[in-house]
Structure 1
Amino acid sequence: MPLSDHPTIRFLQELVRAESLSGQEEAAAGLVERTWRDLGFEDVHTDRLGNVLARRGSRRSGLRVLFDAHLDVVPATSPQEWRFPPFSGELSDGRVWGRGAADTKASLAAMTFALAGLSADDLAGEVYLSASLGEEVLEGAAFSAVLEAVQPDLVIIGEPSDCRLGIAQRGRARLAFTVSGKAAHSSAPEAGQNAIENAAALIERIANLPLPTHPLLGQGLMTAIQVQSQPYPSLSTTPYRCEVVYDRRLMPGETISGLLEEYTRHLADLSNWQVVIPEEGFTTYTGVELRQPDFHPAWALDPASAWVGRAVEALRSAGLPGETFAVPYCTNGSASGGERGIPTLVFGPGSIHQAHRVDEAIEVDEVLRGERGYRGLMSALGKMG
Structure 2
Amino acid sequence: MGLSVEPQNEAVDLLRRLVQAPGLSGQEAAAAAVVEAQMLRLGFDRVWRDEVGNVIGERRGDLPGPRLVFEAHMDVVEMGRREDWSVDPFGAALRDGKVYGRGAADTKGSLAALITALGSLERAQIRGSLFAVGSVGEETLEGAGLRHALEALQPQGVVVGEPTGCRLAMGQKGRARIVFWARGRAAHSSTPQLGENALIKAAEIVRRVESLPLPEDAWLGRGVMAPLFIQSEPLPPLSSTLPHACQVVYDRRLVLGETEESVLGEYRRALADVPGWELAVEEVSFETYTGRVLRAPDFHPGWHMPPDSAWVRGAVSALEGAGIDPRPHAVPYCTNASTAAGEMGLPALIFGPGDIEQAHVPDEYLAVEDLLRGVEGYRALALGLPLALASQGA
Instruction: Please give the TM-score of this superposition, normalised by the length of structure 1.
Output: 0.97
Q: Which residue of 1 aligns with 2:349?
A: 345
Tell me whether 1:143 sits opposite 2:158 in the alignment: no
Q: Which residue of 2 aligns with 1:158?
A: 161
Whole-Å separation in 1 of the counterparts to 2:382 and 2:82: 37
Whole-Å separation in 2 of the counterparts to 1:4 and 1:175: 45
1:154-173 deviation per Cα after TM superposition (whole angstroms, max 9, x unaligned): 11000000001111111111
Q: Which residue of 2 aligns with 1:264?
A: 268
Whole-Å separation in 2 of the counterparts to 1:5 and 1:334: 31
Quote the offset at 1:113 in angstroms: 1.3
Letter in 1 for 2:308: A
Give the 5 Å matches for 1:1-385: 6-233=9-236, 234-383=238-387, 384-385=389-390
1:127-158 deviation per Cα after TM superposition (whole angstroms, max 9, x unaligned): 11100001001101111111111111111000
Is the 1:91–1:97 contact (alpha carbons within 8 Å) kept by the matching residues of 2? yes
Say which SS state the counterpart of residue 373 (structure 2) adopts.
helix
Whole-Å separation in 2 of the counterparts to 1:118 and 1:4: 11
| Gap regions ≥5 residues in structure 1 | none
Quote the offset at 1:120 in angstroms: 1.9
Say which SS state the counterpart of residue 65 (structure 2) adopts.
coil
Whole-Å separation in 2 of the counterparts to 1:20 and 1:157: 20
Distance 1:3 1:55, change over 3 A: closer
1:359-382 deviation per Cα after TM superposition (whole angstroms, max 9, x unaligned): 010110010011111110001001
Instruction: Please give the TM-score of this superposition, normalised by the length of structure 2.
Output: 0.95
Say which SS state the counterpart of residue 374 (structure 2) adopts.
helix
1:42-68 deviation per Cα after TM superposition (whole angstroms, max 9, x unaligned): 121011111000111212212111100
* RMSD after superposition: 1.5
Letter in 2 for 1:130: V
Bigger mean CA deviation after superposition, 183-192 or 346-355: 183-192
Letter in 2 for 1:51: N
Say which SS state the counterpart of residue 142 (structure 1) adopts.
helix
Distance 1:358 1:4, change over 3 A: farther
- The alignment of Structure 1 onto Structure 2 pairs a total of residues equal to 385
Letter in 1 for 2:300: H
Is the 1:231–1:239 contact (alpha carbons within 8 Å) kept by the matching residues of 2? yes
Quote the offset at 1:258 in angstroms: 2.3
Is the 2:130–2:382 contact (alpha carbons within 8 Å) kept by the matching residues of 1? yes
Whole-Å separation in 2 of the counterparts to 1:159 and 1:370: 10
| Gap regions ≥5 residues in structure 2 | none
Say which SS state the counterpart of residue 58 (structure 2) adopts.
strand
1:85-136 deviation per Cα after TM superposition (whole angstroms, max 9, x unaligned): 1111111110011111111111111111111221122221211110000100
Whole-Å separation in 1 of the counterparts to 2:350 and 2:214: 25
Whole-Å separation in 1 of the counterparts to 2:127 and 2:217: 34
Whole-Å separation in 2 of the counterparts to 1:305 and 1:4: 32
Whole-Å separation in 2 of the counterparts to 1:108 and 1:239: 47
Bigger mean CA deviation after superposition, 302-311 or 180-189: 180-189
Whole-Å separation in 1 of the counterparts to 2:111 and 2:49: 16
Is the 1:127–1:382 contact (alpha carbons within 8 Å) kept by the matching residues of 2? no
1:290-341 deviation per Cα after TM superposition (whole angstroms, max 9, x unaligned): 1111111111111121111110111111111121111111111111011101
Distance 1:238 1:253, change over 3 A: same
Whole-Å separation in 1 of the counterparts to 2:322 and 2:115: 17
Whole-Å separation in 1 of the counterparts to 2:41 and 2:223: 45
Is the 1:58–1:120 contact (alpha carbons within 8 Å) kept by the matching residues of 2? yes
